[in-house]
Amino acid sequence: MLPLTRTLRSLTKQRTGINYLKTSAPLQVFWERTDKGGYRDDRQYPPFKDRMREGLKELKKEIVLWKQEVKDHFEGDPVLIFRPGEVDVQWKFNKPECLDKWIVTTDSDNNEGYSTANLDLTQYGKGAFTGHLSMRVPKDGRVKRAGYCNMRTIRARKSFKRESHFNWTSYNMLVMRVRGDGRSYLLNINTRGYFDITWNDMYHYVLFTRGGPYWQYTRIPFSKFFLASKGRVQDMQTSMPLDKITSFGITAAERFEGDFALEIDYIGLEYDPNHVEDFAYEMYEMPKYIVAT
């Protein structure tokens, strides 16, 4: 066995100049090429001159936003910005400009289904997330399941396009005033981190709607949200880092084909001093290399 080992080392050194033989490929389990997970890699960006021209048009808006940030920094007091029982409205659907903060996507955008969705304002000044959920799977031999529609806020940013986070550490409740169609919708809170292993970390909870003509007032503690990544619920759960919120979204992915409609008045935050639960799910220890993290 020893002469064979020496022969292999000698051949490797002669061909590559390396004194060892690599017997396995490098393992890159947690490496993600893009934050989209491989979707939309064929995007075509405008030429550099066009991007510069558009950037100069945005300069005036960014300066105004920067001035407001400086003003809020000196005037804001984190101790006084909330009071128990008061709802701090984060997103209000009362004018067309409010829709610019949201992005609507469906499975058909990636050629993975035939669902359609829209986010509009009703004649009464409320947001309407409507569309058609289709379970029909494209016959491409690649997609196995279809049927989802999603609305999501744009990434939290500071002036001059700097990435930022929403800081919700002063609150413990998510508050929504909605009117649904009896379907269940999935609430998504993204906590994307700096490393690729945490790019897809997302906390979920189900929004149950009653249907009918009446509005419902929903209060959901942040402690009820559970951790998932790429749609898979994680075995090793952890409470939500409320200072690292990057976006909020609502998904229609119930396994019933047909039209859906969800009216939204506002989405806000609240601090309830009577709610003392840190995390609603078990935090027991598991053997190493058993659970998915």
pLDDT tens string 63-91: 888 888 888 777 655 555 567 778 899 99
Percentage of the chain modeled with pLDDT above 70? 80
Residue 259 maps to a domain = yes
Residue 1 maps to a domain = no
Residue 258 maps to a domain = yes
pLDDT in tens, 197-220: 788 889 999 999 998 889 999 999
Residue 75 maps to a domain = no
Residue 248 to residue 189: CA distance in whole angstroms: 5
Residue 117 maps to a domain = yes
- Contacting residues for 254 by C-beta, under 8 A, at least 6 apart: 133, 183, 184, 185, 260
Please tell me the predicted confidence (pLDDT) of residue 34. 72
Report CA dihedral (78, 81, 83, 88) to the nearest 10 degrees.
-120
* Average per-residue pLDDT for the chain: 82
Percentage of the chain modeled with pLDDT above 90? 39
Neighbour-count burial of 115, counting CB atoms closer than 10 A to its CB (0-12 exposed, 13-18 middle, 19+ buried): buried
Residue 199 to residue 201: CA distance in whole angstroms: 6
Please tell me the predicted confidence (pLDDT) of residue 291. 58
Residue that is written with structure tokens 């001093």 in the block: 273
Q: How many domains, the chain?
A: 1
Please tell me the predicted confidence (pLDDT) of residue 69. 82
Residue 265 maps to a domain = yes
Residue 278 maps to a domain = no
Least confident residue range of 38-42, 75-79, 277-281: 75-79
Residue 152 to residue 173: CA distance in whole angstroms: 19
Which tops the pLDDT comparison, 190 or 284? Answer: 190
Which tops the pLDDT comparison, 175 or 33? Answer: 175
Please tell me the predicted confidence (pLDDT) of residue 56. 82
Q: Tell me the residue range of the domain where 250 lies.
A: 85-270
pLDDT at 14 over 60: no
Please tell me the predicted confidence (pLDDT) of residue 266. 96
Residue 223 to residue 207: CA distance in whole angstroms: 15
Q: Give mean pLDDT, residues 25-36.
A: 61
Please tell me the predicted confidence (pLDDT) of residue 31. 66
What CATH number did the domain enclosing 101 receive?
Answer: 2.60.120.430
pLDDT at 12 over 60: no
Q: How far is CA 205 from the centre of its chain?
A: 13
Q: How confident is the model at residue 223 (pLDDT cuts 50, 70, 90)?
A: very high
CB 211 within 8 A of CB 180: yes
Residue 107 maps to a domain = yes
pLDDT at 274 over 80: yes
Please tell me the predicted confidence (pLDDT) of residue 246. 93
Residue 172 to residue 152: CA distance in whole angstroms: 21
Q: Give mean pLDDT, residues 7-15.
A: 42
Q: Which amino acid is at 228?
A: A
Least confident residue range of 104-113, 142-151, 191-200, 201-210: 191-200
CB 250 within 8 A of CB 187: yes
Q: Give mean pLDDT, residues 172-186.
A: 94
Residue 232 to residue 188: CA distance in whole angstroms: 13
Q: How confident is the model at residue 4 (pLDDT cuts 50, 70, 90)?
A: very low
CB 192 within 8 A of CB 199: yes
Strands (E), the chain: 87-92, 102-106, 116-121, 127-133, 149-153, 173-179, 184-190, 201-208, 216-221, 226-229, 232-233, 247-252, 258-270
